[in-house]
Each structure stands twice: as C-alpha cells, then as structure tokens.
Amino acid sequence: MKPGTDYIGVTVSFFCHDGKGNLLLHKRSQNCRDERGTWDIGGGKLEFGETIEEGTRREIREEYGCDAEIQRQLPLMNVLRTNHDGKETHWIWIGHIVLVDPNQVVINEPESMDEIGWFRLHELPSPLHSNLEPEIQENYEHLRKYLE
C-alpha cells in the first residue's frame, strides 16, 4: 500500500532560508516521478515512529546535507490532487520555516535534483511546482516575517 494513494499520507516540508532574506529551492530532475524541471522546496514522507521535528530534520539532512534550526511550524494543509499520474492523491502537509547555513547546503540527492538556488520571495524562478504556489500563498505572511 502506498501513502497518498491507498491511504492519507503525511508529509513534512520546509522553507529553508539563510537569515538574510533568501529562500532555498531546488530544481526537480528528470528522474523525479512528476513535475520534472520545476522549482520546489524540500520535503518527504514522515516515517512511522518519527516526531514531526525529527522527520523534518532527517529530510533536510537527506536532501541538503546540513542541519537546520526549525523556527516555525506552519498551519496544516490538505493537498488533494485529482489527476496525479491518473490517480487521486491525498496528503496532509506539515510545513516549516527553517534556518540553514548556506555554506553547508549541498545537493545531497543528485538523482532527484538538478540544481539548487537562493531566491528572494518576490523573485522566485519559473516554473514552480504546482503545489508550491498555494503553499506560499497560504503562508505568505509567515514567510515574509522571516524573509523580508
């Protein structure tokens, strides 16, 4: 059984910033299951037995090879997709704003990301992952406090 399709999945995501107003995004590689070539924030499935904070820190280490300071948990969101590779999906999204040291950030999963970049909230690259725009809009005021 697969989370998100056979039952509701739980995902942790993170808006990583450098403390100087820059947001970390990565470009999804051609090996990703969907939305290849789009810019996205990091995230992944919460593992059984993990706390939300442990899962967030684990995913950041796996993707960007660095430690992070979790500064704020964002309001939960339902992520419902009606045609994701021909299937409906349902995830509970738990987002965070986290501080990372940009000198420690690396592409730690080269099979799933082609490049990383630092961007201002009002100057994001294109195209963005389809879920990223609603996540930013829903949490814009929280993000602005840390990024502007």
91: domain CATH number is: 3.90.79.10
- Residue 114: pLDDT band (50, 70, 90) is very high
Please report, rounded to a whole number, the percentage of residues in the chain having pLDDT higher than 70. Answer: 98
Indicate the number of domains in the chain.
Answer: 1
**Structural domain includes residue 33:** yes
Residues 31-53 as b or e (16 or more Cβ within 10 Å = b):
ebeebeebbbbbbbebeeebeee
Q: Does 26 score more than 70 pLDDT?
A: yes
Three-state DSSP state, 73: strand
**Structural domain includes residue 132:** yes
CA nearest 3: which of 79, 111, 105, 113? 79
The pTM score is 0.93
Residue type, 62: E
Domain around 19? 9-147
**Structural domain includes residue 3:** no
Residue type, 87: K
**Structural domain includes residue 4:** no
What is the residue-averaged pLDDT of the chain?
Answer: 94
Cα gap 18→102, rounded to integer Å: 6
**Structural domain includes residue 1:** no
- Residue 73: pLDDT band (50, 70, 90) is very high
Q: Does 71 score more than 90 pLDDT?
A: yes
**Structural domain includes residue 22:** yes
**Structural domain includes residue 2:** no
Cα gap 85→79, rounded to integer Å: 15
**Structural domain includes residue 57:** yes
Q: What sign does the CA torsion over 25, 129, 91, 97 have?
A: positive
Please report, rounded to a whole number, the percentage of residues in the chain having pLDDT higher than 90. Answer: 83
